[in-house]
Structure 1
Amino acid sequence: MSEPSESSPPETITVGSGENAREIAMRLRKPKKSASQATILWLSGYRSDMGGSKAVDVDALAERLGLGSIRFDYSGHGSSGGDFAEGTISRWLEEALAVLAHAKPKRIVVVGSSMGGWIALRLVQALRAGKTSPSIMGLVLIAPAPDFTIDLIEPNLTAVERDALAEQGYFEEPSAYSPVPNMYTRKLIEDGRANQVLSGIIETGCPVHILQGMQDKDVPHGHAMKLVEHLPADDVVLTLIRDGDHRLSRPQDLERMREAITAFAVPL
């Protein structure tokens, strides 16, 4: 892994083949002292990228602690290639696994924000099912949105949105974070059902810390509490932030995130 610089072009790898090939942009930081030190893997949310404030803060934390870090953009996001409309949980999970396989860290702390929390849980399941994988030291989930297409989108679809999905394969809604509306495709929703995790026990094999704002209008804090119920075998800490919103990017929120990551990455 090479040292990242925000001013230099990101590294890229090709994921998939033929018509499914896409160039995935990533920024990798080596652990300073030893390959056995932890590497922090950042997984962004829907329509977010590795240049976001939390992602950059995580990389800065890794630099200060002498740890490794891995950031990348899903296809159709940020500096990566590919069509956003082709994006699904399965597709973005494939890219996360490919980036991890390319970087080859020995020990990781996985940090997932919003939809990245869903991908983090699926990634841990995939790694545990594989024969060789890095050791997972902990999982930090920030306003996690596992199964959001199933639990938060499908039950609330209007008749107009259902018609749009049936007729044109997608619908749009205003975004609170961008002048560009959010687009949700039939492909994303159908693939979400195949990646459902809140249907039984989730075994991560590692400690989990969830940070959740109680003023989150996108992912209600009850969704995080539901996730805890599906993690009965793990050491789980749920931190509810009374005045926190979905982004959790205020200075005090970032400090909580850094503390959670550090506790896993640099155990006492």
Structure 2
Amino acid sequence: MTPTAAPEFLDVDETPIAFRHQPGAAPGVVWLGGYKSDMLGTKAETLAAWAKRQGRAFLRHDYSGHGESGGAFADGTISRWLAQSLAVFDRFTEGRQILVGSSMGAWIALRMAQELRKAGADRVAGLVLLAPAPDFTAELVEPQLTDGQKKALAENGYFEEPSEYSDEPYIYTRALIEDGRANLVMTGPIDTHCPVHILQGLADHDVPPAHALKLASLLPADDVTLSLIPEGDHRLSRPQDLDMLVGAVEAMVERAA
């Protein structure tokens, strides 16, 4: 495999945001990673290789506190990571784009689509959402808070949870949870103004399939495809999962071309 080139950086509110951009044909593809993930994960690298073979524009970045970007993870909120994503998008994309969001990245993708429409920009040609976790702070974290976690949030401003994907724990801050309430998208019908393809593993213990089903029920029925993957976990990084991802993105690109 060809070594991945070093990242470039864009300053967003005095924070260096790492990104990698492959120029190419439109519609381009924009990768939006998950909570505590980075742009060098298996799914992002697989899409980067596919885009290079296809001569397709491809853009990815790390949110602040993630991967190669600056800033502290604990200072991050949905609003802050959304603003960084929009800044990179505005600076390094042209024409219409396919947003591919994984887990929390699906939330960022849906919020980006809203903000771009609000600005009068018809820039999103399609959404591919993997194990989507929009509104996860309100829908998945807050209802499960223990008394000890509530106390930690009140007294320390955060609590920690072990992660099966990293030696470092997940950190959930009071600021993240409170800001999440200002970015909710699953409060009613979601008009994306573009087709949506959801890929959801049925063995996902982090974001249950019921969450993807609820999301699909809020999207325009004639424009949403929901693919349920038997034995697929939250990562969706098995060879067959990656094939499905590439196939979904390829189909969305062909539809938008």
Output the TM-score relative to the length of structure 1.
0.92
Give CA-to-partner distance per residue, 1:16-55, whole Å, 9 cap, x none.
Answer: 1xxxx20001000111xx5xx2110000000000010001
**Aligned-partner Cα distance in 1 for 2:55–2:11:** 28
Per the TM alignment, residue 232 of structure 1 is displaced from its structure 2 partner at its CA by: 2.7
* 1:64 alignment partner in structure 2: 53
1:220 paired residue number? 208
> Within 2, Cα distance between the matches of 1:81 and 1:179?
20
Distance 1:237 1:253 in 2: 16
Equivalent of 1:195 in 174, 180, 183: 183
Contact 1:175 1:182 in 2 (8 A): yes
d(CA) in 1 for partners of 2:252, 2:39: 21
Q: Please name the residue that 1:23 is paired with.
A: 16
Aligned mate of 1:96, from 67, 85, 102: 85
8 Å Cα contact 1:208-1:234 kept in structure 2: no
Q: Distance in 2 between matches of 1:217 and 1:85?
A: 24
* C-alpha deviation, 1:237, in angstroms: 0.5
User: Quick one: which of 93, 98, 117 aligns to 1:109?
Assistant: 98
C-alpha RMSD of matched pairs (Å): 1.3
Which of 127, 132, 138 is the matching residue for 2:121?
132
Match for 2:172 among 181, 184, 205? Answer: 184
1:246 aligns with 2:239: no
Q: Determine if the alignment matches structure 1 residue 10 to structure 2 residue 7.
A: yes
Give the match for residue 259 of structure 1.
Answer: 247
TM-superposed deviation, 1:234: 5.3
2:62 corresponds in structure 1 to: 73
Alpha-carbon contact 2:107-2:132 (below 8 Å) kept:
yes
Distance in 2 of aligned mates of 1:133 and 1:29: 22
Find the aligned partners of 1:40 and 1:27 in 2 and give their Cα distance.
12
Question: How do 1:82-93 residues align onto structure 2 when only pairs under 5 Å count?
Answer: 82-93=71-82
Residues 179-223 of structure 1 show CA distances to partners (whole Å, capped at 9, x for unaligned) of 111110000000000000110111111110000001100000000
Alignment of 1:32-51 (within 5 A): 34=25, 37-51=26-40
* Pair 1:165 & 2:158 matched: no
- Distance in 2 separating the partners of 1:132 and 1:109: 14
Cα 1:198–1:92 change in 2 (3 A) is same
In 1: Cα distance, 2:197 partner to 2:4 partner: 32
2:86 & 2:172 partners in 1: Cα distance?
A: 23
TM-superposed deviation, 1:233: 5.8
SS in 2 for 1:27: strand
Gaps (5+ residues) in structure 1? Answer: none
* Equivalent residues, number: 255
Q: CA shift at 1:9, angstroms?
A: 2.5
State the distance in 2 between where 1:266 and 1:165 align.
46
Residue 204 (str. 1) matches residue 197 (str. 2): no
* Matching of residue 151 in structure 1 with residue 136 in structure 2: no
| Amino acid in structure 2 at the alignment position of 1:266 | E
Name the amino acid aligned to 1:42: W
Q: Which stretches in structure 2 are left out of the alignment for 5+ residues?
A: none
CA change 1:234–1:87 in 2 (3 A) is farther
Write the distance in 2 (CA, Å) between the matches of 1:243 and 1:92.
31
